[in-house]
């Protein structure tokens, strides 16, 4: 909880502020700072100030808090105009959680007004001797608190109906007690907030993964009858002599089940073409079923790994690590993301993989430039792989090999475990006249022969 006016009064009486010099100001967040002070009696000491939070306070501290990587406008102003000044006078507003410090440098005097509120009145305001605002932490036009305006301070004449007292403390000074307890309380609250954000991020990632798993399981179910298709094709093969062109179906004895089966035919096709069509359907469904089952198993492992990773993070990570995790973009793209294909990053290079003709075409049309590198497997249908170019950099061989592995992984060469590929810059591709969607003809291509590294592909894909 924040300080009341009596607690602030006690802390200000404990601090050797008057006569001290401000040597350094460190920003920790948009609302918290540490002033490095030097007093002839106390030597060097640190003063911590936090406003606009439930733990708004000023206290002496021994903690070295982490410096914010960014420096806001107000901190820059204080470094230029406050650092080096002597605190000549400290005055608390009557019955209030606010105080001011007169800061002198030679003949020049400025004032720093610090309001330790947690609501909209919270602020740190720098004024001249006539209370004209020179700079302030929060600009509040509705309160006439802007640069160049006159600071209006309404001072209280009494405590009011509510009576305040100083909390019991077991430390040498109340300032030490506030520094210890408020830091623990605010850290716990901030950790709780971070943990909630981590859980939200985890649930979003798991939801996307489970949606993907559901689709693959549905695909497995839709194609699970491929063995029965093969059995029908084998039966038709054994009785092909009885099939004539123009027939819409044929009845064949199923000796294994001691029954007759009816097999639908395309009357426009010859008997052998009908047989080949049935075997093609079997091969297509088998491939689709096996790939969907394999993908489903990988997604199950990914779900388990994601759950374990977030569990370990929530149980043992430091608040700083939790904060960094909340700032990272989600590892998973949602279904709302309209970018086609698979997007990954390898050693600082962005790689895009098209998984079908439609994605290949869309990627080439809308997500590439002439200097980007294009890869594709020779003699096998598959996805296009694009390595996004970086100005002044050539694509390293490890990145090229990883992209080649992705190209094989998303092609019909995957079962062979290796393939020949060609690659060239996007500007050397031309579209085939009247060709299929996404079909391009490369020029100035170079050749590459690569053995698929499935382990590396899995690492790249998460």
pTM over 0.75: no
Domain boundaries along the sequence of the chain: 5-158, 190-327, 342-460
**pLDDT value at position 271?**
92
**pLDDT value at position 187?**
64
| pLDDT above 70 for 140 | yes
Model confidence band, residue 298 (pLDDT cutoffs 50, 70, 90): confident
If one compares 81 and 224, the residue with the highest pLDDT of the two is 81
Q: Give the Cα separation of 417 and 454 in Å (integer).
A: 9
**pLDDT value at position 143?**
87
**pLDDT value at position 296?**
86
If one compares 255 and 138, the residue with the highest pLDDT of the two is 138
Which of 65-79, 137-151, 165-179, 180-194 shows the lowest mean pLDDT across its residues? 180-194
Model confidence band, residue 95 (pLDDT cutoffs 50, 70, 90): very high
φ and ψ of 164, to 5 deg: -105, 155
Which of 34-38, 40-44, 83-87 shows the lowest mean pLDDT across its residues? 40-44
Model confidence band, residue 431 (pLDDT cutoffs 50, 70, 90): confident
Supply the mean pLDDT for the chain: 88
Q: Under a CB-based contact definition with an 8 Å cutoff, are residues 34 and 47 in contact?
A: yes
Closest CA to 462 of 298, 340, 310, 219: 298
Task: Collapse the DSSP code of 318 into the 3-class scheme (helix H, G, I; strand E, B; otherwise coil) and give the result.
Answer: coil
Q: Give the Cα separation of 18 and 178 in Å (integer).
A: 21
> What CATH topology corresponds to 5-158?
ibrinogen binding protein from staphylococcus aureus fold (2.30.310)
**pLDDT value at position 335?**
43
If one compares 69 and 105, the residue with the highest pLDDT of the two is 105
**pLDDT value at position 332?**
46
Model confidence band, residue 70 (pLDDT cutoffs 50, 70, 90): confident
**pLDDT value at position 184?**
63
Which of 54-68, 133-147, 176-190, 413-427 shows the lowest mean pLDDT across its residues? 176-190
- What mean pLDDT is predicted for residues 51-61? 89
Share above pLDDT 90 across residues of the chain, in percent, rounded to a whole number: 44
**pLDDT value at position 330?**
56
φ and ψ of 427, to 5 deg: -65, -15
Look up residue 115 and give its two tokens: 């309001």
């Amino acid at each position: 909880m924040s300080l009341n006016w009596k607690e602030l009064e006690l802390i200000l009486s404990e601090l050797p502020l008057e006569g001290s010099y401000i040597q350094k100001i460190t920003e920790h967040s948009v609302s918290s700072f540490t002033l490095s002070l030097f007093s002839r009696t106390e030597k060097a000491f640190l003063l911590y100030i936090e406003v606009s939070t439930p733990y708004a306070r000023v206290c002496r501290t021994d903690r070295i808090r982490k410096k914010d990587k960014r420096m806001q406008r107000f901190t820059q102003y204080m470094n230029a105009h406050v650092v080096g000044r002597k605190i000549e006078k400290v005055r608390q507003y009557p019955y209030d959680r606010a105080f001011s410090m007169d800061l002198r440098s030679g003949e020049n005097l400025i004032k720093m007004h610090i309001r330790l509120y947690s609501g909209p009145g919270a602020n740190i305001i720098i004024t001249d001797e006539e209370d004209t605002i020179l700079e302030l932490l929060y600009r509040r036009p509705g309160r006439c608190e802007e640069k160049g305006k006159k600071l209006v301070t309404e001072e209280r004449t009494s405590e009011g109906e509510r009576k305040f007292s100083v909390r019991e403390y077991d430390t040498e000074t109340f300032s030490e007690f506030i520094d210890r307890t408020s830091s623990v309380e605010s850290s716990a609250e901030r950790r709780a907030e971070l943990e909630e954000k981590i859980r939200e991020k985890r649930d979003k990632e798991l939801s996307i993964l489970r949606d993907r798993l559901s689709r693959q399981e549905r695909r497995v179910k839709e194609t699970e009858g491929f063995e029965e298709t093969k059995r029908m094709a084998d039966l038709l093969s054994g009785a092909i002599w009885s099939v004539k062109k123009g027939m819409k179906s044929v009845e064949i004895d199923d000796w294994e089940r001691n029954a007759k089966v009816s097999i639908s035919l395309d009357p426009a096709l010859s008997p052998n073409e009908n047989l080949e069509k049935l075997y093609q359907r079997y091969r297509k469904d088998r491939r689709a079923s096996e790939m969907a089952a394999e993908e489903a198993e990988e997604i199950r492992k990914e779900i388990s790994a994601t759950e374990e990773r977030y569990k370990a993070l929530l149980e043992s990570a430091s608040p700083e690590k939790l904060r960094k995790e909340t700032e990272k973009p989600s590892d998973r793209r949602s279904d709302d993301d309209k970018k086609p294909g698979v997007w990954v990053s390898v050693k600082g290079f962005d790689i895009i993989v098209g998984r079908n003709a439609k994605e290949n075409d869309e990627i080439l049309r809308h997500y590439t430039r002439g200097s980007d590198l294009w890869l594709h497997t020779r003699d096998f249908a598959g996805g296009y792989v694009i390595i996004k170019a970086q100005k002044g950099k050539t694509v390293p061989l490890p990145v090229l090999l990883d992209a080649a592995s992705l190209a094989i992984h998303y092609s019909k060469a995957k079962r062979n475990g290796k393939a020949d590929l060609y690659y060239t810059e996007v500007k050397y591709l031309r579209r085939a006249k009247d060709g299929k969607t996404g079909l391009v003809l490369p020029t100035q291509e170079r050749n590459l022969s690569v053995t698929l590294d499935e382990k590396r592909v899995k690492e790249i894909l998460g």
